[in-house]
Amino acid sequence: MNFENNLAFAQTLDQQDPLREMRNEYLFPQQNGRPFIYLCGNSLGLQPKVAKQVLEVQLNNWQNLAVEGWFEGNSPWMFYHKELKKLMAPLVGALPAEVCPMNTLTVNLHLLMVSFYQPKGKRFKIIMEGGAFPSDQYAIESQVRFHGFDPKEAIIEVNPKAGEYTLRTEDIVQAIADQGDEIALVLFGGVNYFTGQWFDMPAITKAGHDAGAIVGFDLAHAAGNVPLQLHDWDIDFACWCSYKYQNAGPGGISGIFVHEKHFNDTSLNRFAGWWGYQEEQRFKMEKGFIPELGADGWQVSCTQVMPMALYHASLQLFEKAGFVESLRAKSKTLTAYLFYIINEVNKQIGEEQYKIITPQTEADRGAQISIIAKANGKQVFDQLVAHNVLGDWREPNVIRLSPVPMYNSFEDVYRTGELLLTISQTLK
């Protein structure tokens, strides 16, 4: 598409956008009586307007049914997670049995590593992306130590080439091949939080399996952002949070994926709890853990009803929008427009004031664009916020801007560029 850097053009794209009404389902934060242009859905998605109502429904259930709520009412809590599984599955390309909402993300990363990082003999290493989100680094480090290894020997990080910001698939594949039969686990992010790079998940999975390793992904920045086919890509396990692109609220419940080929594998360790026990037999309260079949068998504690109610409401909005396919179609154009607009700002300034470190190729990114300002980065960011554009700042020097197809408009993107130019000119 030939983009134009003017308001009328952006508004025309909005009029043609089949998802333009979806933003009315969300609440935008305000400053000085005006709503923010919210470009931070990569960090915390906006609140759906129905959120208060669905919480109230569950508070009323608790009030009126109390303990009977587990088995009585419109959607008994005992089986509530099944409603979510149906809606989570299409979002990540899985069978409903392969997914389950539970806990929070880093906790699930640990629980899944208990099952899927089982080092044996010389096969003890984990390959991951350099510059992964800190929580993942800490989780992996501590798991490796837990098994008695030195993180310096057991963790192999794949880094960008000198002078580059993103990883090349061939370098990842090569690193996996180089470590070969010493790799127990390949554990990557789907989309990197800092650069916004969407890794070639099928290629990484194939390389890991060719080396005889298990392959898992942290999809915190991918789930709800880019289309995923976890089942068909033969990924062994994955987990994600629901509060970024999936708008389920701060501290929202996490989702896990376990490929069905592992359902009957009794060699997998688990840290068990009663909620993962076979559903039919759970309340016999007998000794000896027998897991429920599928991802549900990884549950530990009882259903977190309030966070699940929020996630359920949000997932219904994804269903209404047509899940990832229709959102992705808009997302590609919306993010390409931001790419174009930032380059227009550079042209108007007369130099590359804002370096985009996110891959240019659509297939290698989701909604997020990360930029590094040549000068005054933090001041530019603060000025954007002061003028009602909310992205986020990541140390040491990156501004992340994520136009989210669910609730951002082309006008949002145009106005962000207009403001960025004004700010750059006044700070000069």
Ligand X SMILES: *Cc1c(COP(=O)(O)O)cnc(C)c1O
Per-residue interface string for the shown chain with ligand X, residues 120-139, x marking contact by CB under 6 A: -------------x-xx---
Token reading at 260:
């069905």
Nearer to ligand X, 91 or 380 (CB): 91
Phi, psi values for residue 380, rounded to 5° = -60, -45
Residues paired with 362 in a beta bridge = none
* Cis amide linkage into residue 307, ω under 30° from 0: no
What whole-number distance in Å separates Cα of residue 97 and Cα of residue 293?
8
Show contacts with ligand X in window 297-316 (CB under 6 A): none
Show contacts with ligand X in window 347-386 (CB under 6 A): none
Q: Do strands 30-31 and 34-35 pair parallel, antiparallel, or not at all (unpaired)?
A: antiparallel
Token reading at 34:
């005006």
Q: Where are the beta strands (DSSP E) in 86-199?
A: 99-102, 125-129, 155-158, 183-189
What string of DSSP letters covers 286-332? -SS--BPSSGGGG--S---HHHHHHHHHHHHHHHHHTHHHHHHHHHH
Nearer to ligand X, 107 or 349 (CB): 107
Q: Which stretch binds ligand X (CB under 6 A): 100-108, 263-271, 305-313, 409-417?
A: 100-108
106: contact with ligand X by CB under 6 A = yes
Show contacts with ligand X in window 183-242 (CB under 6 A): 189, 193, 218, 220-221, 241
Among residues 282, 386, 400, the alpha carbon closest in space to that of 34 is found at 386
Nearer to ligand X, 104 or 376 (CB): 104
Smallest gap, in angstroms, from Cβ of residue 218 to ligand X? 5
Nearer to ligand X, 219 or 327 (CB): 219
Smallest gap, in angstroms, from Cβ of residue 329 to ligand X? 24
With CB under 6 A as the rule, give the number of residues binding ligand X. 12
What whole-number distance in Å separates Cα of residue 403 and Cα of residue 304?
30
Among residues 327, 323, 354, the alpha carbon closest in space to that of 92 is found at 323
41: contact with ligand X by CB under 6 A = no
85: contact with ligand X by CB under 6 A = no
Smallest gap, in angstroms, from Cβ of residue 20 to ligand X? 28
> Which three-class secondary structure state does DSSP give residue 401?
strand
Smallest gap, in angstroms, from Cβ of residue 256 to ligand X? 12
Q: Which stretch binds ligand X (CB under 6 A): 101-109, 150-158, 273-281, 328-336?
A: 101-109
What whole-number distance in Å separates Cα of residue 271 and Cα of residue 322?
36
Per-residue interface string for the shown chain with ligand X, residues 136-165, x marking contact by CB under 6 A: x-----------------------------
Residues 94 and 257: beta-carbon distance below 8 Å: yes
105: contact with ligand X by CB under 6 A = yes
Show contacts with ligand X in window 266-285 (CB under 6 A): none
Nearer to ligand X, 105 or 235 (CB): 105
Q: Would you tell me which residues interact with ligand X (CB under 6 A)? A: 104-106, 133, 135-136, 189, 193, 218, 220-221, 241
